[in-house]
Amino acid sequence: MKITNLSSLELLFDQEGTFLLKKGQQTVGELSGCLDIVPGEFEADFEGYIQSGVSGMVTLKGYHYEDMDRSWQEYAIKLFEVEVNLDEMDVDGNTVDIADRGEHLLPTRSK
């Protein structure tokens, strides 16, 4: 997936994270992959599963980052949230491979 980060924010994650696909409040899939957020355009590749019959817009939300040292990445990954269109993704059966398909905006959100 090509993501555009319009800010100067740079966050580098050393390991793979887990991300949930949500449609409204319902979790419709789980993906994993490495994510390094850098200014401008960057690529992020995720693989995982998705419930059958799900299409259209969903939210890709950071869920878990395994870090034995309990570093800032463990908390920062949960702040990552971006809307993606599953109709533009490579979905094979119940497996989704989100890579090199479309351009998405990474908004900055504070809670």
In sequence order, what E strands does 34-75 have? 36-37, 40-43, 46-50, 57-65
The pLDDT value given to residue 3: 74
39-43, 77-81, 93-97: which has the minimum mean pLDDT?
93-97
Is the model's pLDDT at 99 over the cut of 80? no
The set of residues, in sequence order, having a beta carbon less than 8 Å from that of 36 and lying 6+ positions away, is 11, 12, 13, 42, 44
Task: State the pLDDT at residue 19.
Answer: 92
H-state helical runs in 1-111: 72-76
Please classify residue 1 by burial: count the beta carbons closer than 10 Å to its beta carbon, then call 0-12 exposed, 13-18 middle and 19+ buried: buried
pLDDT in tens, 15-66: 888 999 999 999 999 998 888 888 888 777 788 888 888 889 999 999 998 7
Q: How confident is the model at residue 96 (pLDDT cuts 50, 70, 90)?
A: low
Choose among 63, 58, 75, 54: nearest CA to 33: 63
Higher pLDDT, 1 or 77: 77
- The residue count of the chain comes to 111
Distance of CA 10 to the CA centre of its chain: 16
